[in-house]
Chains A and B, each alone.
With several copies, the nearest count.
Chain A
Amino acid sequence: MSDLTIRNLKKSFEDIHIIKGIDLDIKDHEFVVFVGPSGCGKSTLLRLIAGLEEVTSGSIQLDERDITDVAPAKRDLAMVFQSYALYPHMTVRKNMSFALDLAGIDKAEIQRKVEDAAKVLELGPLLERKPKALSGGQRQRVAIGRSIVRNPKIFLFDEPLSNLDAALRVLMRLELARLHKELNATMIYVTHDQVEAMTLADKVVVLNAGRVEQVGSPLELYHHPVNQFVAGFIGTPKMAFLKGTVKAVSNAGVTVALDCGPHYQLPHQSTSLKPGDDITFGIRPENIEVVAADQSPFKVRLDVTEHLGADTYCYIKLANGEMMTVRAPGDFMADYGQNAGLLPDLSQAHLFDASGKTIPRPRPPAQAA
């Protein structure tokens, strides 16, 4: 068992409030990712759980045991640092056995545990090397190995892939996903990269300015963000946000007039909106089709077009200054400044009220995940 329960957790450094009251439940075997822009408090939250920072108020419980003020070593957690934080003067073997050594565990037992972990991570041939003789990916694996030997209740990862190059990052991401399935362990992972969050997590916790914005599965966040912040943070290229005004609200949905021209009727249900309210219409790049200018009421001039091979991104600056991105097929061709029409898939559109809160849209059964 390893259930972590956080209640009304707060952390301030002098007068600066970093964590402003967080409640969170992490269940056994979950892979939870904390994600958010830099300065949102995600790393501080992880360090509070690890015991590397003192809690200002609130509590942290691990399996009914209050660990709020317990020393880091006694919490039954292991952490993988962004810098790996390997001991440079020790071999890989010593790095991995250091904690067991300090705990006074039997030599033979230590050797067995280290070699088991080395087997899982394919570190066998590297055991007698020093960290500086290892590549970035190997160091990363040693840091993970150092955690595994301790058999902790929870693994903590602090942006573990941010020092690796793009290609290695993808490989280590897969390895981590595989490791989670093999160890069947509880993992908490901090990143600022929404792609890592989407691809690794069972449950994503989106943080912003010391508060939790949304907790949910990656696809839940992608398709049903609770507010404009989450909608804009998850997904690349970013969702386009177009300002508009509510024209009518009925049982059939909401009719909006966008500042850039077109009017749309959307299936969203709202009891709080009324005609004249400011509204933001959100649409992801892959949910827009580019057609000839006379085939849509949404007429635009295409700006720069980027050919990535598999896809083409069209960047558009609307007449009222708003920017948007459209994803077209790889063989799409267009000239700089060419006129075109846009056809958004309204069943995939999002609406946000003036405060940024989402107006819920009907869920097709298949997407309810």
Chain B
Amino acid sequence: MLTLKQGRQLQTVLLGTLAWLVALTIFFPIFWMILTSFKTEIDAFATPPQLFFTPTLENYLHIDARSDYFHFAWNSVVVSFGSTLLGMLLAVPAAYSMAFFETKRTKSTLLWMLSTKMLPPVGVLVPIYLIFKDFGLLDTKFGLVLIYTLINLPIMVWMVYTYFKEIPKDILEAARLDGATALQEIYRVLLPISKGGLASTVLLSLILSWNEAFWSLNLTASSAAPLTALVASYSSPEGLFWAKLSAVSTLACAPILIFGWLSQKQLVRGLSFGAVK
């Protein structure tokens, strides 16, 4: 029989390894994409795939010549920040009312909102497209801001609600006894206390908006198209230029990868809803 010590060590090693394997499997494609972007088209399509090769910048030069990268990047930035701002303006008061003036309907409202995230986006493509067409929102940044706000709102309300729920009611009651109005309660007590959680919500909304590929492809053509649409423009017809597609993907992902990497801790702390401390 194993001693206590040996038993524990074996378990730790065994299960730790599994966890790492899972993580590695998920990250390998990104590594592979960046690698491919520095290959020639011939190397990229080689079978079996090549790990060692002579790196080249030709794909990046080609993209620089063919497309206006900064036009798409600017669209991505405007749309991400715009929808995040709009979303927070709606999510904070909604979450405040749900967290601190809970009624019988509160839970079912939340439930209803959250369950919209479970809807297949293809299902609502038609009505959204028609509404956008009627209101002249097709291929506008404002239209994308609206749709991203709607998509991310349930998760934003939910996150902000969770952070507000963590704040003891006592503190708001103390503020009320101290003479604070409802607005002063929110701006001078609630928001400063939950600023860590709100920052996480903002981060998540930015990242989700940046990565969104379904609606941006279906609702934009060129003037409002973000980076995800740029990538798609390299993929469909000329399906064989893997290296160039890898390069444009790397360019599209780079800002958010760097941004996400820098804000990793804040983001995960926020996602964890206080479970990891």
A/B: CB atoms within 8 Å of each other: yes
Residues of A within 8 A of B (CB): 50-52, 54, 69-73, 77-79, 81-83, 85-89, 98-99, 102-103, 146, 150
A10 to B147 alpha-carbon distance, docked (Å): 51
A99 to B179 alpha-carbon distance, docked (Å): 6
Question: Can you name the residue of chain A whose Cβ is closest to the Cβ of B7?
Answer: A71
| Cβ-defined contact, A51 with B4, below 8 A | yes
Given contacts A52-B177, A99-B179, 16 further A-B contacts (CB under 8 A): A69-B4, A70-B4, A72-B4, A73-B176, A73-B178, A73-B180, A77-B177, A85-B168, A85-B171, A85-B173, A87-B175, A88-B171, A89-B192, A98-B178, A146-B178, A150-B178
A178 to B184 alpha-carbon distance, docked (Å): 35
In the assembled complex, the CB of B254 is this many whole angstroms from the nearest CB of chain A, namely 35
In the assembled complex, the CB of A155 is this many whole angstroms from the nearest CB of chain B, namely 12
Query: Does B189 touch A at the CB level, under 8 Å?
Result: yes
| Cβ-defined contact, A71 with B173, below 8 A | no
Question: With A72-B176, A87-B193 known to touch, is A102 a contact of B3 (CB < 8 Å)?
Answer: no
Taken residue by residue from 124 to 159, chain B's Cβ proximity to chain A (1 for < 8 Å, 0 otherwise) reads as 000000000000000000000000000000000000
Question: Can you name the residue of chain B whose Cβ is closest to the Cβ of A103?
Answer: B179
Partner of B5, one of A54, A72, A88, A146: A54
Contacts of A70 in B (CB 8 A): 3-4
A146 to B173 alpha-carbon distance, docked (Å): 14
Residues of B within 8 A of A (CB): 1-5, 7-8, 168, 170-171, 173-180, 184, 188-189, 192-193, 195
A79 to B193 alpha-carbon distance, docked (Å): 21
Contacts of A54 in B (CB 8 A): 4-5, 8
Q: Interface residues of A: mostly helix, strand, loop or mixed? A: loop
Question: Can you name the residue of chain A whose Cβ is closest to the Cβ of B167?
Answer: A88
Question: With A52-B173, A89-B193, A103-B179 known to touch, is A83 a contact of B3 (CB < 8 Å)?
Answer: no
Question: Can you name the residue of chain A whose Cβ is closest to the Cβ of B169?
Answer: A85
| Cβ-defined contact, A79 with B174, below 8 A | yes
| Cβ-defined contact, A71 with B174, below 8 A | no
A79 to B2 alpha-carbon distance, docked (Å): 22
| Cβ-defined contact, B178 with A81, below 8 A | no
In the assembled complex, the CB of A104 is this many whole angstroms from the nearest CB of chain B, namely 10
Question: Can you name the residue of chain A whose Cβ is closest to the Cβ of B184?
Answer: A102
Q: List 10 A–B pairs whose Cβ atoms lie within 8 Å, in order of A's numbering.
A: A52-B176, A69-B5, A70-B3, A70-B4, A73-B176, A83-B170, A85-B170, A86-B171, A102-B178, A102-B179
Contacts of A51 in B (CB 8 A): 4, 177
Question: With A54-B5, A71-B4, A89-B193 known to touch, is A102 a contact of B177 (CB < 8 Å)?
Answer: no
A54 to B5 alpha-carbon distance, docked (Å): 7
Candidate in B4, B8, B170 with the most chain A CB atoms within 10 angstroms: B4
Question: Can you name the residue of chain A whose Cβ is closest to the Cβ of B178?
Answer: A99
A242 to B8 alpha-carbon distance, docked (Å): 52
Question: Can you name the residue of chain B whose Cβ is closest to the Cβ of A102?
Answer: B179
| Cβ-defined contact, B176 with A87, below 8 A | no
